[in-house]
Amino acid sequence: MHRLVLGGCLGLAIALPAVASDAPPAAVQLARDALIVDTHIDAPGQLMKKWADLGKAAPDREFDYPRARAGGLDVAFMSIYTSPRQDDDGSAWQVANTMIDAVQALAARHPDKFAILTSPGDVDRLREGGRVLLPMGMENGAPIGDDLANLRFFFDRGVRYITLAHSGNNRISDSSYALEKKWNGLSPFGREVVAEMNRLGIMVDVSHLSDPAVRQAVELSTVPVIASHSALRHFTPGFERNLSDELLEAIAARGGVVQIPFGNAFVNPVAAADVQAYFRAEAEFNKRNAARKAAGQPLLDEKKFDDDWDAAHPSPPTRIDAVLDQVDHAVKLVGVDHVGIGSDFDGVSGNLPDSLRTVADFPNFVAGLQARGYAEADIRKILGGNLLRVWAAIEAGAEPR
């Protein structure tokens, strides 16, 4: 069911304007001058649904080259997302490799516009000429299967962070979305995965994990961890997908960084409550279908269930202030050095704040930070400096190759 992939791909975005025309000139200039790193964009999944040439204007997407440059985006982590269902049916390996191929093909088709990024030390060199850099993060460790050697395989293919689980428990970790947990945190194999990721220099991403799994990953990792796209539970009580203050502090205490997403379901408490209610309803739906299958009866229509749910629970209007409030709270709690951005563009079906609709809109985010009194140096940290610092520390902690 599609809502299981919140933070993955929820379908094609609606056509949107290309430029954030309402941003003040000072914000536009800083967005263009600063190094902007967005750690979570679901463009590869959208390419699997419907191909588009992202080197040109693609009005039905939230990421393309013209809007990235208009918004000042320099480093766009491409999400290599696989679902729990693909894990169950054995297709996750194939899907992940196909998505990686798509990202590499995009860069090869437009070498003047894109380049694959595999090390923070290459940013300045590769972005010369206005290129948008495309590092890759794997959302859900399902493609690893049961073989630690696959971590090296995907590292060699360019993957630089792995979100250990997604919307279901897997071989590695419990998921925040799962109503019933399997491992009480990380599995024994998951502990080996964390150690091998540290050895290779792959960032451990704790977004989507259950609270015990986040805590264990932070404690086990010998280098800082990241949350590639996680908002804060302070604003969405009971929503385990978002990080508690305690976990935010734990990540920061070990030198990590939390990347704030823009999607309404993460930053709007009404939308977050709807997501929680969906998972409860979805669990009951699956139980009914399991009983019908056992009785030899026709199964209920999953698409109709999702469509009916969406019709009854439209995403509430959300202002950019909801995202800025998240940043303020994180900065107040753990300091400006541990906060960044992981938008989830192309992953939440256009359910985004009014003035953060595409990658062209980063100047609006900058303007919001300026209006709240953030110094330019701190804005630059939030926009990308913090993530690159942490990535460099993780790379430095890897074993020499």
pLDDT recorded at residue 378: 99
Task: Kindly write down the DSSP assignment for every residue of 70-116, as one continuous string.
Answer: HHTEEEEEEEEE--HHHHHHT-HHHHHHHHHHHHHHHHHH-TTTEEE
Mean pLDDT of 175-183: 96
Residue 400 binned pLDDT confidence (cut-offs 50, 70, 90): confident
Mean pLDDT of 80-97: 97
Mean pLDDT of 84-88: 96
pLDDT recorded at residue 76: 99
Residue pLDDT, tens place only, 210-231: 999 999 999 999 999 999 999 9
Residue 11 has pLDDT above 60, yes or no: no
Q: Where are the beta strands (DSSP E) in 216-284?
A: 226-227, 257-260
Q: How far apart are CA 132 and CA 255, in angstroms?
A: 27
Residue pLDDT, tens place only, 226-274: 999 999 999 999 999 999 999 999 999 999 999 999 999 999 999 999 9
pLDDT recorded at residue 18: 43
C-alpha separations of 213 from 194, 323, 326 in Å: 11, 25, 23
Mean pLDDT of 334-362: 97
pLDDT recorded at residue 22: 82
Residue pair 120/395 in contact (Cβ under 8 Å)? The answer is yes
Q: Which of 253, 287, 205 is nearest to 39 (CA)?
A: 205
Identity (one letter) of the amino acid at 324? L
Degrees to nearest 5, angle at CA 359 with 127 and 72: 40
Residue 344 has pLDDT above 80, yes or no: yes
pLDDT recorded at residue 4: 41
User: What residue segments make up the domains of the chain, in order of their start?
Assistant: 2-269+318-396
pLDDT recorded at residue 20: 57
Q: How far apart are CA 147 and CA 191, in angstroms?
A: 13
C-alpha separations of 278 from 6, 93, 262 in Å: 11, 28, 20
Residue 125 CA, distance from chain mean position: 25
What value does the CA radius of gyration of the chain take, rounded to a whole number of Å? 20
Residue 120 binned pLDDT confidence (cut-offs 50, 70, 90): very high
Q: How far apart are CA 276 and CA 294, in angstroms?
A: 28
C-alpha separations of 165 from 55, 205, 283, 336 in Å: 31, 9, 18, 27
Residue 1 has pLDDT above 70, yes or no: no
Burial tier of 164 (Cβ tally within 10 Å: 0-12, 13-18, 19+): buried
Total Cβ atoms within 10 A of residue 77: 28
Residue 35 has pLDDT above 70, yes or no: yes
Residue pLDDT, tens place only, 43-61: 999 999 999 999 999 999 9
pLDDT recorded at residue 5: 45
Mean pLDDT of 375-397: 98
Residue 95 has pLDDT above 70, yes or no: yes
Q: Which of 22, 3, 80, 39 is nearest to 262 (CA)?
A: 39
pLDDT recorded at residue 21: 58
C-alpha separations of 301 from 87, 295, 389 in Å: 22, 16, 47
Q: How far apart are CA 302 and CA 293, in angstroms?
A: 14
Residue 8 binned pLDDT confidence (cut-offs 50, 70, 90): low
Q: Is domain 2-269+318-396 classified as CATH 3.30.1330.10?
A: no
Residue 357 CA, distance from chain mean position: 16
Mean pLDDT of 188-197: 98
pLDDT recorded at residue 46: 97
Residue pair 159/204 in contact (Cβ under 8 Å)? The answer is no
C-alpha separations of 246 from 167, 234, 250 in Å: 22, 10, 6
pLDDT recorded at residue 401: 73
Residue 3 has pLDDT above 60, yes or no: no
Residue 19 has pLDDT above 60, yes or no: no
Residue 6 binned pLDDT confidence (cut-offs 50, 70, 90): low
